[in-house]
Structure 1
Amino acid sequence: MDIGTLLGLLSGFGLIVGSIMFGGGGLGGFIDVPSVLIVVGGTMATAFIMFPMKIVFGSFKVAMKAFFAHDTDAASLINQVVMLAEKARKESLVALEKAPVDDPFIRKGILLVADGTEESLVRAVMDTEISFMKQRHRQGQGVFKGMGTMAPAFGMIGTLVGLVKMLQNLSDPAAIGPAMAVALLTTLYGAVLANVVFLPLAKKLEERSQEESLYMEIAMEGVISILHGEHPQIVREKLLAFLAPALRGDK
């Protein structure tokens, strides 16, 4: 689990709630069901308008990537590719068919190499998978970016609704307070949802996608290097070039 995502969400909401509590009064004055319906309901409704239903529902599954990261240990990946390169040089490319490879992406590339597939086709197949992976991830990110854009807008809509209700009941002092609560709380809810939940999650998913894309690109270059019969140490140095110096073990 990514502790950073969970810690960020908890601390974000915790600081807001804490400031309310320390400021005097309780949380009761900041809870308003009509405001929740306007902001949350309206934001979800527009998400179904902007995106196909299956993409909206799928985005919640994609959101789990913000909490549970895919195993993208580049150092372990490079070690695995180097071992495969050593096996290919000592035995043959055909021997790679029986090599124990758990990652389905690497496995697909290794099987193509073992079958004697040309470099252009191997690269095309693996490039296509990377491209469609990015496209799937962009769809999930787009849903959260869209909701992050619309939540403050519905907060403003709620504010206008509250102001209209207030102006309609200026002669009744008892009705002014609830109307103002809707007006102000919808703006608060929209801002919190957008800036604490939706937009940060979209950014985290974007970072996850970049990490996974880099992992797959390293794997692809490793597979191509094995196809060329390059020396394992050359393969290692070539793949380490993808990583920041700190991740290579350089000083």
Structure 2
Amino acid sequence: MDISVVLGIVISFGALILGYTLEHGILSSLFLLSPFVIVFGGTLGAVVLSYKLTDILSAFKSLVGTFFNKSMGNPTKVIEKITFMADACRQGGILKLQELINDSELNDDEFLVLKSGMVLALDMKSDEEIQYALESNIRVYTAQKQLEVSVFTSAAGFSPTMGVIGTVMGLIQVLSNMTDAASLTASIGVAFIATLYGVVLANLVYMPFASRLKGVLKRQQILREMMTEGICMIARGESSRSIENKLSVYYQLFPHGDKKYKEGIEK
């Protein structure tokens, strides 16, 4: 699992709990089932009402992938594959791609854009036509992923409102049972737990989830742009060294990329 996920959870929730206990708050008073049911259940219902179930499931699947770095992409692997293809085509012509297109690895989602470009190159399309087709592919991919991001940004918008609704419901219950004035103050405090849950879930769960997906989307867009540029350069007959030198600039957008970028331009 990505260590940043664990650190983020520990730091954010740890800070809240520590701050509350430093003010001599009773920790058990923060954990109540009914406000959580109202806030989480209401938010979930609003999201389900707003999106297709397939989009919601796809968003959660993509999110889980970010926890284990399955969606981050590997620019080194992409560049190595492109330069290998470039060498093969320089030696045997563009039709050499026909032998390489059956590589099972190209069926992975990570390389589908590259495979599509190879098919277009084999059809003797110009590099402008290849670029236009692959950029359309990237636009469709981006639109789908932005929809997944919006699932969590919508949840972040609904959650505080559901917290307020839960608090209002709690206050109605409190005010309808005012016979015991001594317990009135404590009951009002309990009613505001729903607002706390709504704000915490929005800012420490849903928005960070959306931000993780945005980061992955940006890197996946870059990888697809790398593949688009790479296959267009192959179609133009450029050398593998020239291709690697030009594509190495993209390393800077990935973890530990500066070193790889310098290595790429020094070749």
Counterpart secondary structure, 1:249:
helix
* Maintained 8 Å contact 2:66/2:72: no
Does structure 2 retain, via aligned residues, the 8 Å contact 1:158–1:182? no
Q: Does 1:192 align with 2:205?
A: no
Question: Is the 8 Å Cα contact of residues 72 and 219 (structure 2) preserved in structure 1?
Answer: no
Q: Is the 2:72–2:216 contact (alpha carbons within 8 Å) kept by the matching residues of 1?
A: no
Is 2:96 aligned against 1:88? no
Of 1-10 and 186-195, the range deviating more from structure 2:
1-10
Match runs of 1:40-59 below 5 Å = 40-59=40-59
In structure 2, runs of 5+ residues without a counterpart are none
Structure 1 counterpart of 2:245:
237
Deviation at 1:175, TM superposition (A): 5.5
1:38 paired residue number: 38
Per the alignment, residue 217 of structure 2 pairs with 209
Alignment of 1:1-251 (within 5 A): 1-21=1-21, 23-24=23-24, 26-69=26-69, 70-99=71-100, 100=103, 102=106, 103-173=111-181, 176=184, 179-244=187-252, 246=258, 247-249=260-262
Partner amino acid, structure 2, of 1:186: A
TM-score with structure 1 setting the length:
0.89
Counterparts of 1:43 and 1:63, CA distance in 2? 18
| Pairwise CA distance, 1:174 | 6.1
Gaps of 5+ in 1: none
Task: Indicate if the aligned counterparts of 2:160 and 2:198 stay in contact, CA closer than 8 A.
Answer: yes
- Is the Cα–Cα contact under 8 Å of residues 78 and 239 in structure 1 kept in the other structure? yes
CA distance in 1, matches of 2:238, 2:25: 70
Once the two structures are TM-superposed, the CA of residue 117 in structure 1 deviates from its matched residue by 2.5
Q: CA deviation at 1:10?
A: 3.4
**Partners in 2 of 1:59 and 1:39 — Cα distance?**
20
- Structure 2 distance, partners of 1:79, 1:224, is 16
In 1, Cα distance between equivalents of 2:183 and 2:45: 29
Q: Is the 8 A contact 1:151 1:193 kept in 2?
A: yes
Is the contact between residue 123 and residue 220 of structure 1 (CA under 8 Å) also seen in structure 2? yes
Identity of aligned residues (%): 24
* Paired residues of 2:75 and 2:223 also in contact (CA < 8 A): yes
